[in-house]
Amino acid sequence: MSDETPHPAAAPTFSSREAAALPRRSATISVLVENESGVLARVIGLFAGRGYNIDSLTVASVDAGGSRSRINIVTSGSDMVIEQIKAQLTRLVPVYRIAELSQEGPHLARELAMVKVISDGANRAEALRLAEAFRARVIDATVESFVFELTGGTQKLDSFIELLRPIGLAEVSRTGVAAIARGTRMLSSKH
Amino acid sequence: MTAIQQQSGAEILLRALRDQGVEVIFGYPGGAVLPIYDAIYQQNSIRHILVRHEQAAVHAAEGYARSTGKVGVVLVTSGPGATNAVTGLVDALMDSIPVVCLTGQVPTHLIGNDAFQEADTTGITRAATKQNYLVRQSEDLARTVHEAFHIARSGRPGPVLIDLPKDILIAPAPYQPASAEPHRSYRPVTEPDPSRIKEAVRLLKSAKRPIVYSGGGVINAGDAASAALVEFVRVTGMPCTSTLMGLGAYPSNDPQFLGMLGMHGTYEANNAMHGCDVMLNIGARFDDRVTGRLNAFSPDSRKIHADIDPSSINKNVVVDVPIIGDAGLVMQALLAAWHADDTRQDREGLASWWRQIDAWRAVDSLKFTQNPAPGSIIKPQHAIRRLYEITRETGRDTFISTEVGQHQMWAAQHFRFDKPNRWMTSGGLGTMGYGLPAAAGVQIAHPDALVIDVAGEASILMNIQEMATLAQYRLPVKVFILNNQYMGMVRQWQELLHGSRYSESYSEALPDFVKLADAFHGVGLRATSVDDLDRVIREMIAIDRPVIADICVDQKENCFPMIPSGAAHNEMILGPEHQDRAAAVTDEGLMLV
Ligand SMILES: Cc1ncc(C[n+]2csc(CCOP(=O)(O)OP(=O)(O)O)c2C)c(N)n1
Ligand SMILES: [Mg+2]
């Protein structure tokens, strides 16, 4: 990922014995995998089987031939647990490369939400005003309802949805987080 | 069809296996794999060993693999054949044993239809294998087989499964030889980081109280790894201990060897682990059987951990110098760096450390008292000691497998191994029923060796049907049962932790093992008192046929030393006189297995 590639055998060190007890943090991890059947099940099974959290998971093929997919996972845990997650992912046979975007430098994380609001009168007008303030698009409208489309960071989506809750929020569909590093850094396979 | 007669999928499969150097398959037939059995029938280069249960096929392949360093191969049918194999696969996964398991599957067009003997084998075994495949196209068949062998044997070895739909086995398939290209995504790191090696050597040279803690990874890395370990320990003068899985990598009779560590490890090994200031873990994984209570584990040491699997590092125990690499390459690099580094080793510190260790050793934590008077009841430890001494007298190359329980621990404590690959035991999963089929696999690989399954009377019944396999292939495996009429290890925990309430742990209604041996075309022997023991052992070894030796031992003997669950290394129960220490086990400890 970076120019100064570490020795492939360099495992992370923990500065202190108390590392295990460090507070939980969130981590955004991108995984480049061979697009073979069962690979997503293997990744999800790893998280379920070892008791790791999945706060968000997205997957889609990302190369021209459709032979490689990128999985973006938002998870949380202590430093030691997150290092474990990364090591466990790395050793899966169909995994090419993993990177913890939230650790390796500045990165962008976005998700998309479609939000249905059913309301009338003042609430309907208020919902439209909020959508404008958040730069959400109206992608469907009937006399009783709107569907808004909003893209952005998780927190922005969360707060938009929270504000709509008292004024007719009916249904939410979200994609989960897609993430990428800023600048020239890439999650490409070294092989 | 073209001029060249195209081969069927089943024939291509066998060709790929031959190219991978496969000589033996352990298997059991069924509808979905009939094309493979037909192809096996029509060739002579690969031998098929018919086991009597699919679980046994995997354990036999494990025994074969563990005793030879080669990949063990299993062939079973779809549905129940595959599900029966699952225990063996998890066993191989936990103990990092290279196995390729071929399973039949219903034809591709029926997959997902709940067809007869259909099971979602790749789904069921995803967490039971290092990698698995469902071959959907004939052109992928040969490549998949080659890839499976590469993955099974490289990096951290493990079981790989290939699910083969019947139509793929019947249809013509193209052949591809194994590719020299590296795998697309899978690239295990074997060469250690030189800077970490230097750091490790500096730490080890400055150590006052060092210890080398070696594990199954050293055995997996081959004879050269064991040789490098031995040389390193000799050159550095350090004490060396081993996990259950690592026994034999360092010779047990060597004075620098402290014996096994962990729950039933020696007093000196566990105290040295607790009191050391620098620890070199090579190819072991800080398993809970080894560490005891984690927050009390070796509290004052700096830890170096070398493992081929990055996920083993910093999983349970935070280490100071992590090294990713093959155990053999790491030991060779450490040895070279040790000689190259001109820092002086702290030899004075080491000498006083050895004085401390010798004091712990003087406790003689494996001692037991055998009443020698004729008619006395046999102590199980004595039975193992005599088994060891008498087999050693014969000078024969001896392989020991075990089942799971007290007898397994006594074998680990009292049988001394001086070469790698001679000790087959189910360490990670602790699978009762492992030992007999594993011994069959070992004997297939080493027809002239002395192969003994040290068993318990409960465990042996879990795969007793394999006596028929022994008979069919004239495998002179010896089953040495320490018959205490209890699931002894369960009884011991009930005695120590559950108020001696022996719930369901008595071995009621046991078969007559002598007659059982007879029924399976073997020879049955029995020892009921100490004066029978040597004669029975000698007779057992002399008989060139399968033997069951029913050794009736003290029913209430407990396996010591023992670190009760949730306790620290220095809170060991040395013998019955300390048994009340188990009462101090906390609720948290009780929860542990
Ligand atoms: C398949 C399986 N089931 C249950 C257990 C739990 N278990 C561990 S040791 C043991 C008793 C084994 O008894 P035996 O074979 O007589 O050996 P002993 O401890 O008496 O030497 C049991 C039931 C296990 N390890 N494996
Ligand atoms: Mg028993």
Q: Are residues A134 and A155 in the same domain?
A: yes
B185 vs A45, A80, A95: nearest CB: A95
Interval between CA B433 and ligand 2 midpoint (Å): 13
Chain B CB within 8 Å of residue A9 CB: yes
CB of B381 within 6 A of ligand 1: the answer is no
Alpha carbons A148 and B32: distance in angstroms, whole number: 53
Alpha carbons B286 and B306: distance in angstroms, whole number: 11
A-chain CB neighbours of B187 within 8 Å are: 191
Q: How close A7 gets to chain B, by Cα (Å)?
A: 6
Tell me what the mean pLDDT of segment B135-146 comes to: 98
Q: CATH number of the domain that A24 lies in?
A: 3.30.70.260
Q: Which residues of B touch chain A, with CB atoms under 8 Å apart?
A: 122-123, 126-127, 130-132, 134, 151, 155-156, 182-187, 189, 191-196, 309-311, 313-315, 318-325
How high is the ipTM of this complex? 0.89
Q: What is the pLDDT of residues A96-141, one digit of tens each?
A: 999 999 899 999 999 999 999 999 999 999 999 999 999 999 999 9
- Residue in chain B closest to A87 (alpha carbons) equals B311
Query: Does a structural domain hold residue A92?
Result: yes
Query: Does a structural domain hold residue A3?
Result: no
Residue positions counted in chain B? 593
Query: Does a structural domain hold residue A184?
Result: no
Residue B270 CB contacts under 8 Å (≥ 6 apart), including other chains:
B261, B262, B292, B561, B563, B569, B570, B572
Closest CA to B497 of B569, B567, B427, B403: B567
User: Could you say which of A104, A138, A156 is where a domain stops?
Assistant: A104
Average pLDDT along chain B: 96
CB contact under 8 A, A8 and B189: yes
Instruction: Find out whether the peptide bond into B561 is cis, omega within 30 degrees of 0.
Output: yes
Q: Are residues A122 and A145 in the same domain?
A: yes
DSSP B482-512: EE-SB-HHHHHHHHHHSTT--TT-B-TT---
Alpha carbons B276 and B302: distance in angstroms, whole number: 9
Q: CATH number of the domain that A144 lies in?
A: 3.30.70.1150
CB of B487 within 6 A of ligand 1: the answer is yes
User: Could you say which of A54, A84, A104 is where a domain stops?
Assistant: A104
Q: Are residues A26 and A47 in the same domain?
A: yes
- DSSP helix/strand/coil, B535: helix
Rounded to the nearest angstrom, the gap between the alpha carbon of residue B108 and the centroid of all alpha carbons in its chain is 36
Identify which of B454, B490, B553, B555 to mutate to test ligand 1's pocket (most ligand atoms within 8 A of the CB).
B490
Closest CA to A1 of A26, A27, A31, A25: A31
Which of A 39-98 lie inside 8 A of B, CB atoms?
Answer: 41-42, 45, 49, 80, 83-84, 87-88, 90-91, 93-96
CB contact under 8 A, B321 and A45: no
* pLDDT-derived band at B517, boundaries 50, 70, 90: very high
Total tally of structural domains belonging to chain A:
2
CB contact under 8 A, B192 and A13: no
Q: Are residues A61 and A141 in the same domain?
A: no
Alpha carbons A160 and A127: distance in angstroms, whole number: 10
Domain that holds residue A32: 16-104
For tokens 């050794």, the residue is: B551
Q: How close B362 gets to chain A, by Cα (Å)?
A: 33
Q: Are residues A52 and A87 in the same domain?
A: yes
Other beta carbons less than 10 A from residue A140's beta carbon: 11
Q: What is the pLDDT of residues B338-375, one digit of tens each?
A: 999 999 999 999 999 999 999 999 999 999 999 999 99
- The one-character DSSP state at B31 is G
B324 vs A11, A17, A37: nearest CB: A11
Alpha carbons B456 and B49: distance in angstroms, whole number: 25
CB contact under 8 A, A42 and B321: no
Q: Which sign does the torsion angle of CA A34, A35, A36, A42 carry?
A: positive
**pLDDT above 90: residue A61:** yes
Q: Are residues A49 and A122 in the same domain?
A: no
Task: Return the ligand 1 atom nearest residue B431 CA.
Answer: 26
Alpha carbons B307 and B319: distance in angstroms, whole number: 12
- DSSP helix/strand/coil, B257: strand
Alpha carbons B478 and B476: distance in angstroms, whole number: 6
Continuous segment of H or E residues that includes residue B269: helix B267-275
Alpha carbons B547 and B305: distance in angstroms, whole number: 43
pLDDT at A3: 42
Q: What is the pLDDT of residues B172-197, one digit of tens each?
A: 999 999 998 999 999 999 999 999 99
* pLDDT-derived band at A2, boundaries 50, 70, 90: very low
Q: Measuring CA to CA, how many Å separate A152 from each of A49, A108, A113, A179, B386?
A: 31, 10, 9, 11, 74
Query: Does a structural domain hold residue A9?
Result: no
CB contact under 8 A, B315 and A94: no
Neighbours of ion ligand 2 (CB under 5 A): B 456-457, 484, 488
Query: Does a structural domain hold residue A130?
Result: yes
Query: Does a structural domain hold residue A187?
Result: no
pLDDT at B29: 98
Q: Are residues A67 and A47 in the same domain?
A: yes
For tokens 């249905």, the residue is: A116
Query: Does a structural domain hold residue A129?
Result: yes
Rounded to the nearest angstrom, the gap between the alpha carbon of residue B407 and the centroid of all alpha carbons in its chain is 15
DSSP B129-171: SSEEEE--SGGGHHHHHHHHHHHHHSSS--EEEEEEEHHHHHS
Other beta carbons less than 10 A from residue B256's beta carbon: 18
Q: Are residues A132 and A54 in the same domain?
A: no
pLDDT at B566: 83
B-chain CB neighbours of A41 within 8 Å are: 123, 126
Alpha carbons B560 and B558: distance in angstroms, whole number: 6
Other beta carbons less than 10 A from residue B177's beta carbon: 11
Alpha carbons B204 and B338: distance in angstroms, whole number: 9
User: Could you say which of A86, A104, A122 is where a domain stops?
Assistant: A104
Query: Does a structural domain hold residue A188?
Result: no
pLDDT at B436: 99
Please provide residue B23's backbone torsions phi and psi, each rounded to the nearest 5 degrees: -115, -25
Q: How close B256 gets to chain A, by Cα (Å)?
A: 30
Q: Are residues A119 and A100 in the same domain?
A: no
Mutate which: B318, B320, B321, vs A, most A CBs within 10 A: B318
pLDDT at B443: 99
- CA end-to-end distance (rounded Å), chain B: 61
**pLDDT above 80: residue A12:** no
Alpha carbons A32 and A104: distance in angstroms, whole number: 16
Q: Are residues A98 and A151 in the same domain?
A: no
pLDDT at B564: 87
Alpha carbons B483 and B514: distance in angstroms, whole number: 12
Q: Are residues A166 and A152 in the same domain?
A: yes
Q: Are B523 and B467 in contact (CB under 8 A)?
A: no
Angle at B17 between CA B466 and CA B224, to 5 degrees: 80
Q: Are residues A78 and A47 in the same domain?
A: yes
